[in-house]
Amino acid sequence: MPRHQTVNERTLWRPAEATDVVLLGGTDRLRDDIARIAAAAGLALRPESPREAPVSAAGATPVLLGTGYARVPRTSAEVIVVGFIDEAPALWDLAASTGAGRVAVLPDGAAWLAEYLSRTWRRETTGKLVAVHGASGGVGASALAGWLAATAARSGTATVLVDGDPLGGGLSSAMGAADVPGLVWPDLTEVQGTVNPVQLAASLPAIAGFSLLSWPGTGEAFLPETPAIDTAAAIMAAAAGAFGLVVIDAGRLGTGHDIGSPADDIVLLTRADCRSRRAAATAVTAAVGTGANVHVVVRGPLPAGTDEQLIADGLGVPLAGYLPHLRAVPACQRDGRLPELASNRRIRSLCASVLDRLDTGHKPGRLP
């Protein structure tokens, strides 16, 4: 996959809680092979001498044992014995003496080990998935999703914005990323099996501090090719493994493409007029059925005699914030300048409130 960020930028995509692969014992040949396998899983090898003190708890990533390490490692992580086929008897003896639960015999076991390391790492480093839905068309869900992503990224959270609507014309143009090189959804339609989180993150276009996985806004007279549900689910799992926050511009409930990954939280954006509130009530019923935590953002202007809290109370879901009417939004969306509005005081206040409510790891003190 192509890389478009600098080395310093790429280091930001790796979650702070990710753990290197620890290898105890083994030959130089084994260390070289395990280093390549770890890299394929999006991790780095940290070899340690068998003469050094045993490692302490290493988190979720398994500890690998090579021949030459005869002691039982003091670790709460899973232990896997690794080595080559010509030393298979010694590997099984080592597994028995140390209580290791698995043995990976190379070279045949290399593919399994890479996938297993990648899968266990992602399971413990899953970021929060937040889907932004509009109760009705044209309410501004794409803009809100982009502002949430920009605000979270500015506060220090590794963030990706995912375009969940293949027929929406592509988020990249509205976000000013149409000419930024990187992968888009159709580039991933042929992906099979698991997806390396680090490679995915490094291959996406970056704008305003966050990454973007968009549908292309080509304007061509044909439908874009969409990935199968299993493929989309693997891509979303990789995104959640590489980023602390995944913001999905999900369009109207029931109309977007199934990306095969349920959201942890749903932010429903609705206007305040009677028709929009009726549509929002139906959308809330559908959203609650997904099992996600549902929150509502009310978009102004407000009719006389009501306020955003009354509207949220009528819908029966918590109020996440109020989005004022901003005349600059259509022009900014047309010109690819939507992220600029994230610095607007009212937008910034709304997004900070929403991110805090969703417990996304947002750090209010880091906002300018």
Is 10 a domain residue? no
Q: How far is CA 226 from CA 22, 30, 235, in A?
A: 39, 41, 12
Is 116 a domain residue? yes
User: 4 and 114 in contact (C-beta within 8 Å)?
Assistant: no
157 and 253 part of one domain: yes
Counts of helices then strands in the chain (DSSP H, E):
12, 13
Say if residue 233 is exposed, middle or buried (CB neighbours under 10 Å; 0-12, 13-18, 19+).
Answer: middle
* Owning domain of residue 230: 127-366
Spell out the per-residue pLDDT of the chain, length 368, in tens. 333 333 233 233 233 334 578 888 888 999 999 998 888 776 778 766 555 545 544 445 788 989 887 677 766 677 899 999 999 899 998 888 888 888 999 998 898 888 788 766 555 557 899 999 999 888 999 999 999 999 999 988 899 999 988 877 789 988 999 889 999 998 998 887 777 787 888 899 999 899 999 998 755 555 667 888 888 888 998 898 889 999 999 988 765 555 656 789 999 999 999 999 999 999 999 888 888 899 999 999 999 989 999 999 999 999 999 999 999 998 998 899 999 999 999 999 999 999 999 876 544 333 32
Out of 74, 91, 123, a domain closes at 123
Q: How far is CA 326 from CA 133, 189, 323, 333, in A?
A: 19, 37, 9, 12
225 and 359 part of one domain: yes
Say how far apart CA 156 and CA 140 lie, in whole Å. 25
318 and 239 part of one domain: yes
CATH of the domain at 58: 3.40.50.2300
Is 13 a domain residue? no
Is 303 a domain residue? yes
User: 141 and 251 in contact (C-beta within 8 Å)?
Assistant: yes
- pTM of the prediction? 0.69
195 and 328 part of one domain: yes
Out of 100, 123, 146, a domain closes at 123
The total number of structural domains in the chain stands at: 2
